[in-house]
A = this chain, B = another copy of it.
Amino acid sequence: MVASEVRALFAVASRPEIVSLAGGMPAVDALPLDAVASTVADLVTSRGPVALQYGSAQGDPELRARICDVMAMEGIADAHPDNVVVTVGSQQALDLLTRVFIDPGDVVLTEGPTYVTAINTFAAYQARVVHISMDNDGLVPDALRETLSRLAVEGARVKLLYTVPTFQNPAGITLTAPRRAEVLDICRRAGVLVVEDNPYGLLSFAGEPVRAMRADAPDDVVYLGSFSKTLAPGMRVGWALAPQPVAARLVLAAESAILSHSMFTQLAVERYLATQPWPEQIKAFREMYRDRRDAMLRTLAETMPPGTTWTRPEGGFFVWLTLPDGVDAKAMLPRAIAARVAYVPGTGFYADGSGRNAMRLSYCFPPPERIQDGVKRLADVLRAEILLRRTFVSHPATDFPRE
């Protein structure tokens, strides 16, 4: 699925009559808008000449200190503001890291499936993306070992492992604690830098944040964080926490890319963290997203035809749905749109064309009753699709014609 197709999908999916289970937009309408409004107004009247001026390429020092406090909630006790680089969402951190580390042909390892825009960024720098398979416990260490051995034989330069270990986008899966240690150990021995992208870590439905991989490997992990899911993506405030030499190179790359980040949005986030009860707000988000996840899982269990399977996220925004053999999620999408429900077909989350019989379902944005309606519509479409296959296709499932 190319970028223009994704944009066309989101344009269609934004129509009011369609239940969109496609986008990953957080529910910002749940924010205390009056409090945000007074925070930004106070910022301009009290510190306007600073908030409206140029800042440094590394980001505001006060915000970087508060970012360290946020990361402490995930077990990162030793983060220093000097090692934090504020970025335009964590997407920019990923772009700058790729710019700094990747030469054309270098290998980036990622989960399969993985975050779609990360694939685009790696492709923009002509990296070769190699997927590592996942199961319900996350990235499979044996698969990682085997892939590294194979790539070593090929003489490939493996530079990075890009992973979303917690409430993964798109699979909703979390890497278990023993596997985190194992993955870190494998990468350390192989000289592969781990990029831990963790936008959803604080949105744990169990209440306790998941311990970050970075907490146990300060020298081997670049941690990417974001306020897009815990506050507002419209601020575009994310960050990288990196070992000092990497952080220094990211700052130079950021300066070349954008000169400096918006002081206004940086200080707006800093003031929000300083003056608002944000841990309570995150708790409210967690409970809201848990209700939505519950609505999705319950309706999936009630409506989906046999042979359909799905993940059971403990946090974050996404469920990964695997369809019965031979059903093509991308081919089915126009019929789903006609039935007023949208999703993202699985192929978009792979660099190698995998994922045809899978899709990502988001429960972050629509309220529970809309999610319920959407999943029911999807189940109806899927049943019709299976029936159609049985009626018209005499080939065995593995020979099901593909476009």
Which residue on chain B has the smallest CB distance to residue A48? B33
**A53-B234, A89-B259 known; A28 vs B44 contact (CB < 8 Å):** no
Task: Name the contact of A258 in the complex, choosing from B34, B91, B235 (C-beta under 8 A).
Answer: B91
Whether A117 lies near B259 (C-beta < 8 A) is yes
| Assembly CA distance A343 to B275 (angstroms) | 39
Residues of B within 8 A of A357 (CB): none
**Interchain nearest-CB distance for A285 vs B (Å):** 13
Instruction: Give the interface SS of chain A, mostly helix, strand, loop or mixed.
Output: helix
Residues of B within 8 A of A268 (CB): 264
Whether A34 lies near B40 (C-beta < 8 A) is no
Whether A234 lies near B262 (C-beta < 8 A) is yes
Stoichiometry (number of copies) = 2
Task: Name the contact of A262 in the complex, choosing from B25, B44, B265 (C-beta under 8 A).
Answer: B265
Residues of B within 8 A of A89 (CB): 258-260
Residues of B within 8 A of A31 (CB): 48, 52
How many chain A residues touch B (CB < 8 A): the figure is 55
- Interface status of A253 (Cβ within 8 A of chain B): yes
| Assembly CA distance A253 to B257 (angstroms) | 12
| Assembly CA distance A26 to B257 (angstroms) | 21
Seen from chain A, the residues whose Cβ lies within 8 Å of a Cβ on chain B are 3, 25-26, 28-29, 31, 33-34, 36-38, 40-45, 48-55, 88-89, 91-92, 95, 99, 117, 120-121, 124, 228, 232-236, 252-253, 255-265, 268
